[in-house]
Amino acid sequence: MDQPVLSLRKIGKTFPGVRALNGVSIDFYKGEVHGIVGENGAGKSTLMKILSGVYTLEEGEIYIDGQKVDIRNPMDSLNLGQSIIFQEFNLIDALSIAENIYLGRLSRKKGKPIDWKQVNAQAKALMREVGYDIDPRMLIRDLSVAQKQMVEIAKALSFNARIIIMDEPSATLTTKEVENLFRIVRSLKEKGVSVIYISHKLEEVFEICDRVSVMRDGNLISTRGIAEVTRRGIIEDMVGRKVEQEYPPREKKPADDAPIVLEARNLKREGVFENISFKLRRGEVLGFAGLVGSGRTEIMRAVFGADKLDAGEVFINGAPVRIKTPDDSIAHHLAFLTEDRKQQGLLLQVSVSRNISLANLGAITRHGFLNFKAERRVAEEYVRTLQVKTPSINQRVIFLSGGNQQKVVLAKWLYTSCDILILDEPTRGIDVGAKAEIYHLINQLVDEGKSIILISSDMPELLAMSDRVMVVYNGRIKGELDGEDITADNVMSMILQKQEEENPCM
């Protein structure tokens, strides 16, 4: 093969407590679409942030056309012909399409005013190139997600980018919009642009990529031509087996005749999931397995009342309930530890103690006054039993490590005296030691008779911690595994088999 356009050599990155990248080396060639896949937390985004100058390169080397380069900031990266399209986008809502594309480059030459006519005409041409015949004076805030993405791509084109990185570009697009995206990716490829395509969706990788690299736990596991890999092979590389991870065994298993504390029948949310039925027993950990984006979080959000259900029934302790808001759920002793604890679970600028009492302020309020003493007592208690490492209960949560933040979220929900806990990615982004402590807590909770729904993209964790596993794909339940049958192979074959049935031509 020719000389790579871009070579990464032994790239490493360590965050406090997390080795996010560990000696990653990948070559990218001219005009190739190179897929990067891996589970949540594999290090894909971190790698791309290093490439695009968001993080400073600390370990390893980057070569462009065989020349070692220094990328210190996003401008360096752009000047080297690289553009990254982040999931969150980098656009300014209050400005027009044209202004965003040419942001920072609208110079007045010799006191002359900006030639808006020309700027707008160029922006219009670029937008047409990416498939949208649209007025370039429209404001970003009035665009759809797909249109915003195309503005980002148009911007990349305006920089004559030779390498375009797309981080999970299809996550929020409709099927039709994905088709347009692929059309653009193909035309970029024809122009000799190299596209780095990060995705969880293997169907897309098989459709659009020439080669694919799999990452896991900060390591590059494999890079292969798309014709040489199978879906199963990629998934095996993605999932792997973590030998060093310890999962504490549980003393007792839930009895077969343990009462059913939560039951879902035929839940449906239009276009998101349907036909979702499951039963959760007392003292049980019920795992939900699936690829990221399979709809597990959405299902649980709806069960919890954070989103609306279009159809279906929920029963708690055998009685039908109508849960319309998270408050209704809390009243029924349900708790939901969200995936994104930073955004939904915790008030980062607020103290450990207030975060713990937050979901149950009523319990420490008398005649409308908060009993601070009681609040402190409760906090001290939980900090002790959950072994939260914090200098004091007055510490603001933002200063705690990820694992300790997670324990505060757990404390908060335990204080609501919940019986059923939904844990969504409870160990994501926390270090191995804190993970083990969370596993012990899970065991302790079910031993005490609480029931847990566990969503995790960490397959070994999910398999080891669950008594039973529901396999979810594409908003549907594909099967259920119990006891000895809970294996990665079985989970994957349920996903694969049904997937092929549904999409025979893929």
| Binding-residue pattern over the window 284 to 313 for ligand ADP, x denoting contact by CB under 6 A | ------------------------------
The reply on whether position 170 binds Mg ion by CB under 5 A is: no
In the range 149-178, which residues lie near ligand ADP by CB under 6 A? none
CB of 246 to ligand ADP, least distance (A): 18
The site partner of 223 among Mg ion, ligand ADP, none (C-beta below 5 to 8 Å per kind) is: none
19: tokens are 């080795």
In the range 399-438, which residues lie near ligand ADP by CB under 6 A? 429
In the range 94-123, which residues lie near ligand ADP by CB under 6 A? none
Question: What are the E-state strand segments in 405-461?
Answer: 420-424, 451-455
Residue 373 near residue 379 (C-beta atoms within 8 A)? no
CB of 49 to ligand ADP, least distance (A): 7
Residue from 7, 45, 456, 466 binding Mg ion (CB under 5 A): 45
**Structure-token match 């027009």, residue found:** 96
**Structure-token match 């092929």, residue found:** 500
Residue 403 near residue 382 (C-beta atoms within 8 A)? no
The site partner of 364 among Mg ion, ligand ADP, none (C-beta below 5 to 8 Å per kind) is: none
| Binding-residue pattern over the window 24 to 43 for ligand ADP, x denoting contact by CB under 6 A | --------------x-xxxx
Helical H segments across 67-174, by residue range: 74-79, 97-101, 116-129, 145-158
66: tokens are 């065989």
Q: What are phi and psi of 207, to 5 degrees?
A: -80, -40
The reply on whether position 44 binds ligand ADP by CB under 6 A is: yes
- Give the CA distances from residue 458 to residues 203, 217, 274, 428, in Å, rounded to whole numbers and listed in that order: 21, 10, 24, 8
The site partner of 40 among Mg ion, ligand ADP, none (C-beta below 5 to 8 Å per kind) is: ligand ADP
The site partner of 38 among ligand ADP, Mg ion, none (C-beta below 5 to 8 Å per kind) is: ligand ADP
Residue from 46, 82, 120, 297 binding ligand ADP (CB under 6 A): 46
Q: Enumerate residues 6+ apart whose C-beta is below 8 A from 490.
A: 481
CB of 349 to ligand ADP, least distance (A): 18
> Judged by CB, which is closer to Mg ion: 45, or 466?
45
> Judged by CB, which is closer to ligand ADP: 34, or 282?
34
> Judged by CB, which is closer to ligand ADP: 253, or 342?
342
Q: Which region, judged by CB under 5 A, interacts with Mg ion, from 43-51, 127-135, 139-147, 277-285? A: 43-51
> Judged by CB, which is closer to ligand ADP: 211, or 435?
435
Q: H or E stretch including 316?
A: strand 311-316
258: tokens are 């343990």
The site partner of 351 among ligand ADP, Mg ion, none (C-beta below 5 to 8 Å per kind) is: none
State the number of binding residues for ligand ADP (CB under 6 A). Answer: 12
The site partner of 18 among Mg ion, ligand ADP, none (C-beta below 5 to 8 Å per kind) is: ligand ADP
Would you put residue 71 in left (φ > 0), alpha (ψ -120 to 50) or beta? beta
3-class DSSP state for residue 387? Answer: coil
> Judged by CB, which is closer to ligand ADP: 62, or 119?
62
Q: H or E stretch including 439?
A: helix 432-447
Residue 45 near residue 52 (C-beta atoms within 8 A)? no
Rounded Cα–Cα distance for residues 400 and 389 (Å): 8
- CA-wise closest residue to 198 among 19, 46, 10: 46
In the range 385-414, which residues lie near Mg ion by CB under 5 A? none
Neighbours of 314 (CB within 10 A): 22
Q: What are phi and psi of 413, to 5 degrees?
A: -75, -35
The site partner of 136 among ligand ADP, Mg ion, none (C-beta below 5 to 8 Å per kind) is: none
CB of 41 to ligand ADP, least distance (A): 4
| The pairing of beta strand 211-216 with beta strand 219-225 | antiparallel
The reply on whether position 83 binds ligand ADP by CB under 6 A is: no
Residue from 3, 15, 320, 387 binding ligand ADP (CB under 6 A): 15
- Single-letter code of the amino acid located at 368: G
Question: What are the E-state strand segments in 186-245?
Answer: 194-198, 211-216, 219-225
The site for ligand ADP (CB under 6 A) is made up of 15, 18, 20, 38, 40-46, 429
User: Residue numbers of the site for Mg ion (CB under 5 A)?
Assistant: 45
